[in-house]
Amino acid sequence: MSKKPATSFDVIVIGAGPAGYSSAIRCAQLGLKTACIDNWHNEKGRGSLGGTYLNAGCVASIALLESAKIYQSLTHNLKEHGIQAEAVSVDVAQMMQRKNRIIDTLSRQIADSFAHYKIDCIQAKAKLLNERQVEIAPTDQSAVSVIEAKHIILATGSSPIGLPCAPIDNEFIIDSTMALNLDAVPKRLAIIGAGVIGLELASIWNRLGSETMLLEAQESFLSLTDQQIALEAYRIYSEQGLELRLGARVISAKKGNKKVTVEYQDSEGTHALRVDKLIVASGRKPNTENLAAAEADLLLDENGYVHVDENCRTTLPGVYAIGDLTLLGPMIAHKGIEEGLFVAEQIAGIHNPVNYDILPSVIFTAPEIAWVGQTEQALRAMGEAIKIGTFPLKATARAQAMGQTEGMVKIIAQAETDAILGVHIIGNHASEIIAEAVLAMEFSASSEDLARTIHAHPTLSKALREAALALKTKK
């Protein structure tokens, strides 16, 4: 196919997930002529901006979890409120339609922002040719062309990692994307991986009636989180009916008679279980395959991550990489968004670097887990002198009134300076409460500052203040 003459821009963004669309919009707001190339298509074959985060990740998962929580309330928790509900059933197709409507609405909002800021949105596969040119191959099979820009931002995101022992067929052995598009509730469900993605998926299908087992190769549960919070989470999730099998290394998964037989090893030997569906949630990898032509000499590491400096600059002048493509921070949407804004402003001559030390993390289960800063185990390993304050949510009037009393707030401060070093929460709306802790740490607040901050009563956020007060009373 012939290549059309190059069209010129100030900035080309490859990818329209959170990192990409945020960066493109900010570039345009700063007066830069911007193009954004994206290749995501929904189940109807139409372009859908928003990347994995919107179409097959966090937003889709949260939407389904809200439906699952309502169903669980109707079937388990209403009698104590004096409310009777009969013949409650699950319509998975309708549930998926609601989820898809939310995705479509948010995707259209991104498209509307692109139109408002006059961003050229191109539905195509993109390949970096050099530090100034990008080849685009439109999905409608029209002619391949080349566009160029002074600056190019790579933001193609990530995709699920497959396992040789459990080959995906997206019928019985499925990935995390397909797990958000099932047409029925599996009677028995196994998930490989008890990390963030595995737990979020388990929270949905367990509430909808699946007997759910998570097979985690690591001996410890949620090793990246504060271990006091992780132990509390293990207890809560187990009581909810999730079967968490740690130190369980899957060695094979075979289909047969419309079931999957999963074989795994642990400290007690080899075991087998039969399930209706097996979800592979063993992590994600950066989408860098075929992202750049060989002659472009874009430097990647052995795992496919783009090599960047602290300013998200690649080894190619004027080319940046953000979001899941780099090892600067974890693979979370708001990290990519902040990097997208940072790079856009950097191109425009503004320098506002990302503070990775106070990047909040959230696991959208029920209850939620959220944290910012350092964990207790990491600080003790460094020999840091610390003091700790905790407060159980069951001691708050709001949690009691809501009937959501599980969880706690934990604050860690430096022993001498009282600077807040970490805040860890498990509980209802933890993802919202953590924002106050992030703000406090951004402004270098002490635990005393939090303890002296008046909170409305009764609220869940008041537990944060109570944890700070508990810390202040300890010697």
Element (H or E) spanning 148, and its range?
Answer: strand 145-154
- For 113-126, what is each residue's pLDDT tens digit? 999 999 999 999 99
- For 150-190, what is each residue's pLDDT tens digit? 999 999 999 999 999 999 998 999 999 999 999 999 999 99
Confidence tier at 80 by pLDDT (50, 70, 90): confident
| Residue 363, pLDDT score | 97
Arithmetic mean of pLDDT, 79-90:
89
Instruction: Write 129-132 long-range contacts (CB < 8 A, 24+).
Output: 129/292, 129/293, 129/295, 129/296, 130/293, 130/295, 130/296, 130/316, 131/296, 131/316, 131/317, 131/318, 131/319, 132/318
Task: Give the residue among 196, 13, 17, 204 at the shortest CA–CA distance from 103.
Answer: 17
| Residue 6, pLDDT score | 63
**CA 93/CA 75 separation, integer angstroms:** 19
Task: Give the residue among 177, 131, 60 at the shortest CA–CA distance from 298.
Answer: 131
Query: Is the preceding peptide bond at 458 cis, omega within 30 degrees of 0?
Result: yes
Arithmetic mean of pLDDT, 200-218:
97
Task: Reply yes or no on whether the pLDDT at 88 is more than 60.
Answer: yes
Lowest mean pLDDT among 14-28, 128-142, 287-301, 417-431: 128-142
**CA 99/CA 460 separation, integer angstroms:** 28
Arithmetic mean of pLDDT, 299-319:
97
Number of C-beta neighbours around residue 74 at 10 A: 15
Lowest mean pLDDT among 75-84, 197-206, 292-301, 427-436: 75-84
Contacts of 376 (CB under 8 A, 6+ apart): 226, 227, 228, 386, 388, 410, 412, 422
Q: pTM value? A: 0.94
- For 392-445, what is each residue's pLDDT tens digit? 999 999 999 999 999 999 999 999 999 999 999 999 999 999 999 999 999 999
Confidence tier at 474 by pLDDT (50, 70, 90): low
**What is the percentage of the chain residues whose pLDDT exceeds 90?**
90
| Residue 2, pLDDT score | 40
Arithmetic mean of pLDDT, 199-223:
97
Q: What is the average pLDDT score of the chain?
A: 94
Confidence tier at 1 by pLDDT (50, 70, 90): very low
Task: Give the residue among 309, 314, 323, 320 at the shortest CA–CA distance from 348.
Answer: 320
The string of DSSP letters for 161-218 reads PPBTTB---SSSEEETTGGGS-SS--SEEEEE--SHHHHHHHHHHHHTT-EEEEEESS
Arithmetic mean of pLDDT, 318-325:
98
Query: Is the preceding peptide bond at 367 cis, omega within 30 degrees of 0?
Result: yes
Rounded to 10°, the helix 18-29/333-347 angle is 30
- For 227-272, what is each residue's pLDDT tens digit? 999 999 999 999 999 999 999 999 999 999 999 999 999 999 999 9
Catalytic residue, from 41, 116, 271, 457: name it. Answer: 457
Task: Give exposure, 292-305, as e/b (b: 16+ Cβ within 10 Å).
Answer: beeebebebeeeeb
Task: Reply yes or no on whether the pLDDT at 3 is more than 70.
Answer: no
| Residue 7, pLDDT score | 87
Indicate if 457 belongs to the active site. Answer: yes
- For 357-404, what is each residue's pLDDT tens digit? 999 999 999 999 999 999 999 999 999 999 999 999 999 999 999 999
Q: Which domains does the chain possess?
A: 4-160+285-356 (3.50.50.60), 173-282 (3.50.50.60), 367-473 (3.30.390.30)
Task: Give the residue among 98, 129, 127, 104 at the shortest CA–CA distance from 47.
Answer: 104
- For 35-61, what is each residue's pLDDT tens digit? 999 999 877 778 899 999 899 899 999
**CA 382/CA 377 separation, integer angstroms:** 9
Arithmetic mean of pLDDT, 274-303:
96
Rounded to 10°, the helix 196-207/58-72 angle is 30
Task: Reply yes or no on whether the pLDDT at 461 is more than 90.
Answer: yes
